[in-house]
Structures are given as C-alpha cells and as structure tokens.
C-alpha cells in the first residue's frame, strides 16, 4: 500500500491527497507535524518536508513528481493529457504556476507581515491573469479536469484563509473554484483543519 506523509495544512500535501482520492485507490495518509518532525520523515526526505510518497522501495518528494507518478501508475481517471504536446504544455503551465504563484504561498504562513502583504499582492495579480482563460473554458486545460486544476484547487480553497479578495471582474475564477470544490471526492481529500479554513 502507498503511504503519503502529509501535513494537514500544507497545500502541496493537499494536492497529493486530491490525486490519491481521485484515483480511488488504497493508500495510507500519515499526518506529520513539520514543526516537530518525526525521525521517519527526516530519513525519507532530504529536505525534511511533506509531502513524501513511499511505495515499496520507492521514495518520492515534490508534489508534482508524486502526482505524475500516481497518474502514470494508476491511469484512470487520467489527469495528465495523453497527447505528448498537450502533456508538455501542461508541464510548462505547472512550472509557471510553481514559479509565479505557488512559491508565494509559503510566505502566506510567515510571521513577517511585509512578506505576507507582498505575497498576497502577487497571488491576487497572478490569479486575475487567469480570468480570461476561465471566462472561455470550464477548466484550465480546456474541457477536461486535469492536473492543473488539482494543483490550483488548494490555493483557491485557502483564499479566505489568506485574506485574498478577488475583484468583481474575476467572478469566473470564483465560479471555477466552486466547481472544483463540488467534485465528489474533494471534501474527502481534506484534513479537518483544511475544512475549517472556509
């Protein structure tokens, strides 16, 4: 059985839990406290952070790598496009998300208010740029729910928690977010702490 070492408030762990639940497979989630790490996690992850996926002798870190492995290992439902060109575009999109959006989520939990303010501004501006895309299509990769939607869902769930307010002209993003949250297994993939964020 796969084991996912996951933190109950970490958006990157949340992303991996979503994929595992979407696949409907047997797995165990082991909750880890990143402020008081177990020796197991320190041995498994060179960075001593979550998420970490363990299956037999395989140990994976990094949410994107974990999720692509799960998607290839259990191909139904497929979350990365089957077409190589579209798959490459999806990977590029994810890389841009990491560099322009998700990296700033780490600062949202900082005790440094100036870091939080700067991160909030960048996240808001980056999300606003997605408005034209989501005004024309139901998901980030056209008509199909994909790994891009999985990746951004934990951030959208945390908007209130992060005190991020999107302008009225970005209503298509909020409608899109509601659609993601209504997926049958979305709630099951959340920890009790995450459920309390909204």
| Parts of the chain belonging to CATH 3.40.30.10 | 2-77+187-195
Secondary-structure class of domain 2-77+187-195 per CATH: alpha beta
Name the helix (H) or strand (E) containing 150. Answer: helix 147-157
Residue 9, judged by CB atoms within 10 A of its CB (0-12, 13-18, 19+), counts as middle
Q: Are 67 and 16 in contact (CB under 8 A)?
A: yes
Res 110: pLDDT: 87
Q: How many residues are given for the chain? A: 198
Q: Where are the beta strands (DSSP E) in 39-129?
A: 52-55, 58-61
pLDDT tens string, the chain, 198 residues long: the values are 899 999 999 999 999 999 999 999 899 999 987 666 556 666 666 665 779 999 999 999 999 999 999 999 999 999 999 999 999 999 999 999 999 999 999 899 889 999 999 999 999 999 999 999 999 999 999 899 999 999 999 999 999 999 999 999 999 999 999 999 999 999 999 999 999 999
> CA-CA distance, 172 to 185, in Å (whole number)?
22
| Parts of the chain belonging to CATH 1.20.1050.10 | 84-181
Secondary-structure class of domain 84-181 per CATH: mainly alpha
Res 78: pLDDT: 94
Q: What is the pTM of this model?
A: 0.92
């Amino acid at each position: 059985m796969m084991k996912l070492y996951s933190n109950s408030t970490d958006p990157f762990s949340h992303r991996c839990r979503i994929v595992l639940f979407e696949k409907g497979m047997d797995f165990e989630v082991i909750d880890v406290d990143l402020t008081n790490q177990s020796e197991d996690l320190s041995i498994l992850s060179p960075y001593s952070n979550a998420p970490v996926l363990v299956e037999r002798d395989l140990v994976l870190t990094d949410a994107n790598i974990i999720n692509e492995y799960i998607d290839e290992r259990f191909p139904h439902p497929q979350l990365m496009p089957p077409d190589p060109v579209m798959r490459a575009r999806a990977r590029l999109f994810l890389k841009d998300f990491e560099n322009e959006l998700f990296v700033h989520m780490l600062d949202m939990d900082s005790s440094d208010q100036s870091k939080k303010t700067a991160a909030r501004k960048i996240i808001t501006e980056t999300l606003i740029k997605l408005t034209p895309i989501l005004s024309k299509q139901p998901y980030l990769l056209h008509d199909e729910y994909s790994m891009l939607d999985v990746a951004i869902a934990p951030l959208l769930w945390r908007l209130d928690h992060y005190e991020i307010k999107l302008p009225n002209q970005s209503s298509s993003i909020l409608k899109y977010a509601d659609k993601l949250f209504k997926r049958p297994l979305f709630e099951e993939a959340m920890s009790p702490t995450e459920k309390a964020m909204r």
